[in-house]
Amino acid sequence: MQKKIIRRNLEISEKFSSPDLHPLLHRIYSVRGITSAAELECGLERLLPYHDLLGIDKAVLCLADILSRQEKILIVGDFDADGATSTALAVRALKSFGAEQVEFLVPNRFTYGYGLTPELVNAAKDFSPAVIVTVDNGIANNAGVAAAKALGIKVVVTDHHLPGLTLPDADVIVNPNQPGDTFASKHIAGVGVIFYVMLALRRHLADIGWFAEKNIPEPNMSRLLDLVALGTVADVVALDHNNRVLVQQGLRRIRAGQCVPGISALLEIANRNQARLVASDLGFAVGPRLNAAGRLDDMSFGIACLLTDDATEAMKMAMTLNQLNDERRQIEQEMQEQAFDILNKIKPDKETELPKGVCLFDPQWHQGVIGILASRIKDRFHRPVIAFALSNENEIKGSARSVPGLHIRDVLAQISAQYPHLIDKFGGHAMAAGLSMPRSAFKEFSQRFNEVVSQHITDEQLNNFLMSDGELQNNELNLEIAEVLRAAGPWGQAFPEPMFDGVFELIDQRLVGNKHLKMVLSSHAQTIDAIAFNIDIEQWPNHRCKQVHVAYRLDVNEFRGRRSVQLIVENLEEA
C-alpha cells in the first residue's frame, strides 16, 4: 500500500479572492488551477453555450423535421453508465417534446460489441426508424453508419470519444472532439453532448411555436441534470468548469429529491444519504450498480430503471442491479487472483521488473469485467495495463487503462499504424481504451505494446505517488472543516478531492470486515478515528508500530444519526 507522497506547491494564488472563502479552500483551489472566483460559480448561467458545438444546428433541424412528421426515432446507446444515462436522457427529452415514436436499442456487448456496428444496424432495421441517433458512440463506427445509410436511415452521431483518421459519413456529427469544433469543454461526457443537443432542440421548438401549437408545456431541461451528473461522474471524465456546473446542478436536484426514481432507488440500495449526496457517491455507489447490467447481462435493464417513473418498479430493478453488482464483485475477485498468478510468473522475484506496458489474458475471463480488472492492476502497479478476454474462438477483446502522462489511445494508434496485422479495431480516450484483435496476435502485441509504451513513458512516471495538499493543523482536524471540504466540490477526475498527510501516534488498530484497518490516531493529545480500506493483511495490524505517516482524506462518518470526523487513509506506513 505504500506510495510516494508528493506535496503540491502550496503557494496561494493572488489572482482571485473571495471574502467568504475559507483560507484552506483558497489554498486548495489555487493548486488546482483556479484563477478567478468565477471558476467556482456553478450556476446554470455559467454553462458554455450550445452554439459552439459544431453540427448542433444541423442536428436540431434534422430532428425537428423528423418530429414534425412524427416518424420513428431510434436511440442507439452504449452499455456503460454514460451510455445508459445518455439513452435515458434522449428518450425522456424527446417524449417531453411530444415525440410519439421514440425507442432505444443498446448493444449487448457479448452479441454485438461496441457501438453502431453493421450487425446492430441489421437489428435496428426491425424498428423501421427514420433516424438513428447515437449517444456516447458512433464516431468510430464508420461501417455501421454506412450500413444504416444504405438502408435509407438517417444517422445523427452524438459522441465524445476521439475520432479516427476518417469520420463516419453520418448526416450530422456532434462531437466536441471532431476537427474544427470550437466548443471549449473537450472533456464533456456523452450524456453532456446529448443534453446540449436536446437543449438546442428545445430552444428551436419553442422559437417556432411547436409547444404552443401542440399545447405542450415547454419542458424544463434542468430536470434532466440528475442523469447528466450521474453519467459524467461515472464516466470519470475530467471535471473542468463546465462539467463541474453540470455535476453540481445535478447533485442539487438529486439532494432535493428531484430525480428519476431509479437514481433514488440505487442510492437507497447502496445505503447512501440522498440529501447529503456528493459526487463520489455517484461514482462509487450508483455507477457500479448501473454498470453491472451492461457488464454481466444487458444494459437495457439499467436504462429501463432510469426510465421508469414508478418508484416501486424502480426499487425492484435497483435490487436486481445490486445483485448483479455483487456477482460482478465475486467474478472480479477471482479474476484478480488469476491475474496476480500471471504477474508472479512475469515477475517472479523483487529483482525482476514488470514490463512498462502490461498485457494480461486468460481464456476464462469474463468479457464484461476486464475493464475493472485492468483498472485494479493499473492502480496496484502504476503502469498501463490491458486485460483481454475471449470474444470468440479466434478473437480477443481488450480493455486498456493508463496512467497520467500516457495517452493510451495514441499508443494503440501507433501500434495499429506500425503493425496493422495486430489490431482489428480500437478506440477510446487518453486514460481508457478498447480494442479487438486475433487471439493468435496476443504474444506479439504484448511485446509491441511494451515497446511503444516504453518510448512514451519515463521511469519517473511509473512511480506510484499521491499528491498531498500538505498537513492539516490540529485545529483543522474537525467536523467543521470536513463539512467545508465536503461541500466545496464537486471533486473528481482532474479536480481531485483534497488529500493531506501527516504523522500520528497509533493508539489503536484492528481489522474490520477481514480486510479494512480501523484505527484511532492521535496528534498533540487530540484523538481521531481513521480507516484504511483493503489493507495488506500481511503487514497490518502491526502492534509493534507506534507512529504512522498517513495520507488521508478528511471525511464525515454518519452512524445511527451521529456525525463525526474521520480520516479515510489512502496510504499508511510506519513513521
Domain end, chosen from 462, 488, 506, is at 462
* Pair (402, 270) in one structural domain: no
Query: Given this model, what pLDDT does residue 14 score?
Result: 65
* Pair (272, 154) in one structural domain: yes
Query: Euclidean distance between the first and final Cα of the chain, in Å?
Result: 14
* Pair (480, 440) in one structural domain: no
Query: Given this model, what pLDDT does residue 15 score?
Result: 64
* Pair (171, 145) in one structural domain: yes
Mean pLDDT, the chain, rounded, equals 93
* Pair (313, 170) in one structural domain: yes
Query: Given this model, what pLDDT does residue 401 score?
Result: 95
Which residue segment(s) compose the domain that 181 sits in?
Answer: 49-322
Question: Quick check: is 40 in a domain?
Answer: no
Question: Quick check: is 43 in a domain?
Answer: no
Question: Quick check: is 276 in a domain?
Answer: yes
* Pair (432, 501) in one structural domain: no
Give pLDDT tens digits for 8-29: 876 665 666 777 788 899 889 9
- The enclosing domain of 376 has a CATH number of 3.10.310.30
Query: Given this model, what pLDDT does residue 343 score?
Result: 92
Average the pLDDT over each of 101-105, 111-115, 232-236, 500-504 and give the range with the smallest value: 111-115
| Helix ranges, 208-278 (H) | 210-213, 225-234, 241-255, 261-269
Taking every pair of C-alpha atoms in the chain, what is the biggest distance, in angstroms? 78
Q: What average pLDDT does the segment 378-391 reach?
A: 94
**Of 516, 526, 528, whose CA–CA distance to 566 is shortest?**
528
Q: What average pLDDT does the segment 491-517 reach?
A: 94
Pairing of strands 562-574, 526-532: parallel
* Pair (271, 218) in one structural domain: yes
Q: What average pLDDT does the segment 35-63 reach?
A: 95
Query: Given this model, what pLDDT does residue 1 score?
Result: 46
* Pair (474, 458) in one structural domain: no
Question: Quick check: is 86 in a domain?
Answer: yes
Does residue 116 carry a pLDDT above 70? yes
Q: Which amino acid is at 164?
A: G
Q: Percent of the chain having pLDDT more than 90? A: 80
**Of 474, 501, 482, whose CA–CA distance to 555 is shortest?**
482
Domain end, chosen from 462, 480, 500, is at 462
- The enclosing domain of 54 has a CATH number of 3.90.1640.30
Task: Give the number of domains in the chain.
Answer: 3
- The enclosing domain of 485 has a CATH number of 2.40.50.460
Residue 398 contacts residue 423 (beta carbons within 8 Å)? no
Q: In terms of residues, how long is the chain?
A: 575
Does residue 319 carry a pLDDT above 50? yes
When pLDDT is cut at 50, 70 and 90, the band that residue 497 belongs to is very high
Q: How many CB atoms lie within 10 A of CB 573?
A: 14
Question: Quick check: is 314 in a domain?
Answer: yes
**Of 160, 302, 286, 158, whose CA–CA distance to 229 is shortest?**
286
When pLDDT is cut at 50, 70 and 90, the band that residue 351 belongs to is low
Angle between helical axes of 479-487 and 23-31 (0-180°, round to 10): 40
* Pair (67, 132) in one structural domain: yes
Element (H, E) at 238: none
Does residue 525 carry a pLDDT above 60? yes
* Pair (64, 166) in one structural domain: yes
Does residue 156 carry a pLDDT above 60? yes
Return d(Cα 83, Cα 235) in angstroms, integer: 9
Query: Given this model, what pLDDT does residue 464 score?
Result: 80
Q: Where are the beta strands (DSSP E) in 91-249?
A: 102-105, 131-135, 154-158, 172-174
Q: What average pLDDT does the segment 486-512 reach?
A: 94
Q: How many CB atoms lie within 10 A of CB 170?
A: 27
**CA dihedral of residues 493, 484, 35, 229 (deg, nearest 10):** 40
Q: Which amino acid is at 410?
A: D
Question: Quick check: is 14 in a domain?
Answer: yes
When pLDDT is cut at 50, 70 and 90, the band that residue 558 belongs to is confident
Domain end, chosen from 420, 445, 462, is at 462
**Of 434, 366, 369, whose CA–CA distance to 400 is shortest?**
434
Question: Quick check: is 23 in a domain?
Answer: yes
* Pair (240, 303) in one structural domain: yes
* Pair (413, 488) in one structural domain: no
Question: Quick check: is 360 in a domain?
Answer: yes
